[in-house]
Copies of this chain bind each other. A is one copy, B any other.
Amino acid sequence: MDSIHDDTCPRFEDTLELVGRRWTGSVLQAAGRGARRFGEYRAMIDGISDRLLSQRLKELEAAGLIERTVIPSTPVQIRYQLAPDGRALVDALVPLAQWSMRRSST
């Protein structure tokens, strides 16, 4: 498949619905920009609540796009970083981000 014009891929809709959830794009952006800890995401994403940030991170983790690591320090640190698939997704979103940017600049 070299375009979305080819036969319908049901997973495509799933993907769109995943990244289309509120804040998900911002969370992925933050992850791509180097966010690691919960508080860093919160600081980088203006307006998001703890509840939804937690939920989005869990969803992305469940989808295998973000890896959650517990670092046994005192106090314990939790790190969220892009998994390889997540990195690929972030890359695949670039043209869409560019398209959005082009639209908003007119």
Contacts and interface: CB of A to CB of B under 8 A. Distances in A.
A96 interface: yes
Main SS of the interface on chain A? helix
Contact of A92 (B14, B23, B25, B98): B98
A93 interface: yes
A43 interface: no
A11 B100 contact: yes
Interface residues of A, number: 46
Contact of A13 (B4, B15, B26, B98): B26
A58 to B, nearest CB: 18
Interface of A: 1-5, 8-26, 28-29, 32-33, 85, 88-104
